[in-house]
Structure 1
Amino acid sequence: MKKYKMAVGERDSLQNRTTSLEAQVSSLQADTMHQRHQLAELQNNYNSLTSNYNRLNDNYNSSSNKVSELSGDLKKREARLKEVEEALKKRDEATNALKDKLQQALLGFQNSGLSVDIRDGKVYVSLADKLLFPSGSIVIDEHGKLALNQLADVLNKETNINIAVEGHTDIKKVINLGQIKDNWDLSVLRATSVTRYLTEVEKIDPKRLTATGKSQYQPVDPGTTSDALAKNRRIEIVLTPKLDELYNLIKQ
């Protein structure tokens, strides 16, 4: 009887231990499942972070390449701008030097209706009509020839200068001048008279010259007084330094 009770006790003890172990197994299985879920979430998060990192890294590399390209373009632009500024500086220096030479050469005519100034990077030599022509005429008089001779002495030495001869009139209508029908004719024919004199007598290369007539439509003085009208009757010789280097830079 005593052995039987001992056996029953051992059996109950084993059952209790088995139940406890089964509970532990269930708990471990639940923990394992939970950890698997956590691991899966962590893996997903890791994969997402890795993907984001790769995308950001690609964006960074792409941005870095663009920055490098932009930096290179900026340096090229800065170098080109510097070249253009240097060319403009040379133009201004050449223009100012030309103006000084002309003012010295034509000093004796500046009280007779001649002026030299710079506008928009060009040198303008303005000669009143009375300095060049008798009233209503397109034939250059001796005083005008002397002024053009002094001008040509400078221009024949400065071969890198383009020359435009512009004829201007006042607003008074031309009357009884034969072949000259109106102010357009008068301005054009006076410009061509000056151009012919510079090319045929003073031997300036004709390829350097153009002749145009502006009639009454570009007055320097909008007034109608005799002084204003006299200012508007003029020949303007527009001198432009040849700047092929500058033009080529701008076209690039």
Structure 2
Amino acid sequence: MKQILLFGAAAAIFLSSCVSSKKYAELQTKQKQTEDLLNSATVKLNTCLEEKDSYKSQLDVLRRNNQDLINNMGNLTTLTAKGADNLEKSLESLREKDLTIRKLQDAVTRRDSVNLALVQSLKGVLGNLDDEDINISVEKGVVYVNISDKLLFSSGSTTVSARAKEVLGKVATVVKNKPDFEFMVEGHTDTVPIHTARMSDNWDLSVLRATSVVRILQNDFGVSPSRMTAAGRSQYIPVASNDTKDGRAKNRRTRIVILPKLDQFYSMIEEGMKDPEIN
């Protein structure tokens, strides 16, 4: 009996020892799993921390870029405002230039209208004179009356003919009614040289012929001398070749240049500036 009890006790102790080893093994296994899970969690945590730092860096970059964009938008707004201001100034300058051009065009139109009226008046009083003897033209806003020396003077003479005085009287009638104009009487010659007691050359001849016409206009027809200029151009502004008789005849001429007074032309511009259509 005693032996049986001893055997039973030994068996119980053995069985108890076997259960504890199994549980220990299970605990070890669970510990290993727990360590593996912990290690895996640690790895994931480190990865997340690294990603967080990366995202933070990207966020900082995005914030800086966003601020740069905001700043650039502000600069762009400033530049756009300056551009608009400059554009407005340019448009205003163009408007002013356009206004000036329109004023000048209006003044030129007025001048051309006055010249046209002057030409019509001259042609009206001079009648149907031979075009070879007298010609009226407008060039660059200036009225020219060309009178051949065949009509005005004898060869080499500075004395105005009786028929020429009649023509000059008609011209005087027109210019006296146009007080806003001044005019210059120009003497022109051909290239045939001249030398007399009174004249050394064609310069003298051209000047003396011009002054003869001016004196007739002043003394015989009452044209104000303050409105006239006498000028000699000699042989140096020909209108035809001096190699032929006909060419030399065309070059021997007296030209009356009629032009608006400068202050009158400025008055035309000022009047144009007051025009309601312009303003």
2:224 aligned to 205, 223, 242, which one?
205
Please list every run of 5 or more consecutive structure 1 residues that lacks an aligned counterpart in the other structure.
none
C-alpha change, 1:106 and 1:77, in structure 2 (3 Å) is same
CA distance in 2, matches of 1:214, 1:9: 132
Mapping of residues 2-151 of structure 1, within 5 Å: 5=24, 15=35, 18-107=38-127, 109-110=129-130, 113-151=133-171
Shift of 1:27: 2.5
CA distance in 2, matches of 1:247, 1:212: 29
CA distance in 1, matches of 2:70, 2:36: 50
Of 132-141 and 189-198, deviating more is 132-141
Of 4-13 and 79-88, deviating more is 4-13
Of 206-215 and 194-203, deviating more is 194-203
Amino-acid identity (%) = 30
Deviations 1:126-145 (A, max 9, x none): 11113222332222232222
SS class of match (2:137): strand
CA distance in 2, matches of 1:60, 1:232: 67
1:153 aligned to 157, 170, 173, which one?
173
Deviations 1:127-167 (A, max 9, x none): 11132223322222322221111111000101111201100
Deviations 1:75-133 (A, max 9, x none): 11111111111111112111111111101111154367111111222111111113222
Shift of 1:8: 6.8
Aligned: 1:193 with 2:212? yes
What is the aligned partner in structure 1 of residue 14 from structure 2?
none
CA distance in 1, matches of 2:221, 2:232: 22
Please list every run of 5 or more consecutive structure 2 residues that lacks an aligned counterpart in the other structure.
1-18, 272-279
Deviations 1:163-215 (A, max 9, x none): 0110001111114x321111000001111121222223322222222111110
User: With structure 1 as the length reference, what TM-score do the two structures score?
Assistant: 0.86
C-alpha change, 1:47 and 1:87, in structure 2 (3 Å) is same
SS class of match (1:203): coil
Of 212-221 and 6-15, deviating more is 6-15
2:200 aligned to 181, 185, 197, which one?
181
User: Is contact 1:166–1:214 with CA below 8 Å preserved after alignment?
Assistant: yes
User: With structure 2 as the length reference, what TM-score do the two structures score?
Assistant: 0.79
Of 49-58 and 162-171, deviating more is 49-58
2:255 aligned to 219, 236, 249, which one?
236
Mapping of residues 216-231 of structure 1, within 5 Å: 216-231=235-250
CA distance in 2, matches of 1:117, 1:101: 13
SS class of match (2:186): strand
User: Is contact 1:114–1:126 with CA below 8 Å preserved after alignment?
Assistant: yes
